[in-house]
């Protein structure tokens, strides 16, 4: 499987409430706080435009946030079609993947990685809302994955982390880890503005990479905005862009 297929299998039951696979596309249905996606699997001449458009319009009527999500190898073929639907490009997701063999050796600068529990959840949430102040659904996002952590098993885990330096929270990150799928997804990772450009983003990600390896998971990925700050930070950690998808809505 490629990284996108692995990703939707990992996120089934979390970010995606249902995965509907058709001959020419996949419909990724989601809870209200997440976006939904129609993902073409073929070039346009074999794409079931009528059925896909029906789904798209039905979800719009439900006031769901739905997009066409086009793999980079198909985007040129679909551009005029999507333009005809009066859809425009929103963003480009880069799927950054790392397959480390050994634990990372890094300078932790006297930092501490702390797992989020009921006792420190409010501090984690307040920090997330500060870091991602421009994300309108961040509070719901944090609460949603915190609730999922109550369903953790030995093989499938949802965890949130805080990175502290001298008693202050400097960075946060979350991870979804599945031992059976041999994959971990780092998400909602960021650094408090006043502590940026001090290497803390790399440190918290390095901690999580090592924890994933210690759990027996050797494939780790994150989804970033193409060529954004996180994209370059993950590249510096050794992640490689394995695929990218263009969102149109």
Q: Is the pLDDT of residue 228 over 90?
A: no
- Predicted confidence band at 110 (pLDDT cuts at 50, 70, 90)? confident
- Structural domain ending residue among the three candidates 42, 59, 93: 93
Instruction: Look at residue 25 and tell me whether its pLDDT is greater than 70.
Output: yes
Question: Do residue 19 and residue 74 come from a single domain?
Answer: yes
84: buried, middle or exposed (CB in 10 Å: 19+, 13-18, 0-12)? Answer: exposed
State pTM to two decimals.
0.95
- 166 — alpha (psi -120 to 50), left (phi > 0) or beta? left
Q: Can you tell me the mean pLDDT for 182-209?
A: 96
Q: Does residue 35 fall inside a structural domain?
A: yes
Average pLDDT over residues 217-243: 94
Q: Is residue 225 part of a domain?
A: no
Which of 109-113, 117-121, 163-167 has the lowest average pLDDT? 109-113
Same domain, 33 and 84: yes
Instruction: Give yes or no: residues 79 and 121 share one domain.
Output: no
Looking at the structure, tell me whether residues 88 and 118 fall in a common domain: no
Measure the CA–CA gap between 6 and 73, rounded to whole angstroms: 18
The reported pLDDT for the residue numbered 109 is: 73
* Within-domain flag for 238: no
The token duo for 47 is 């794409």
pLDDT of residue 227: 84
Residues 73 and 12 in one domain: yes
Q: Is residue 117 located within the same domain as residue 214?
A: yes
- Number of folded domains in the chain? 2
Q: According to DSSP H, which parts of 97-248 are helical?
A: 121-131, 138-148, 200-214, 229-236
Structural domain harbouring 193: 111-218
Q: Please report, for the domain that includes residue 207, its CATH number.
A: 3.40.630.30
């Amino acid at each position: 499987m490629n990284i996108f297929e692995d990703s939707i299998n990992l996120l089934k039951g979390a970010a995606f409430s249902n995965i509907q696979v058709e001959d020419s596309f996949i419909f990724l249905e989601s809870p209200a706080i997440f976006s939904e996606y129609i993902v073409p699997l073929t070039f346009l001449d074999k794409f079931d435009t009528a059925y896909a458009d029906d789904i798209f319009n039905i979800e719009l009527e439900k006031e769901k946030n739905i997009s066409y999500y086009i793999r980079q190898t198909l985007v040129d073929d679909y551009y005029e079609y999507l333009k005809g639907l009066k859809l425009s490009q929103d963003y480009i997701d880069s799927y950054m993947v790392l397959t480390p063999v050994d634990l990372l050796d890094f300078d932790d600068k006297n930092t501490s990685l702390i797992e989020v529990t009921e006792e420190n959840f409010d501090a984690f949430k307040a920090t997330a809302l500060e870091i991602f102040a421009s994300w309108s659904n961040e509070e719901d996002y944090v609460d949603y994955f915190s609730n999922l952590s109550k369903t953790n098993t030995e093989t499938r885990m949802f965890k949130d982390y805080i990175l502290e330096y001298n008693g202050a929270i400097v960075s946060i990150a979350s991870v979804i880890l599945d031992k059976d799928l041999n994959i971990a997804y780092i998400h909602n990772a960021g650094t408090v503005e006043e502590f940026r450009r001090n290497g803390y983003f790399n440190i918290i990600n390095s901690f999580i990479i090592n924890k994933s390896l210690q759990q027996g998971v050797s494939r780790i990925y994150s989804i970033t905005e193409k060529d954004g700050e996180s994209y370059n930070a993950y590249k510096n950690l050794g992640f490689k862009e394995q695929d990218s998808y263009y969102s149109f809505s």
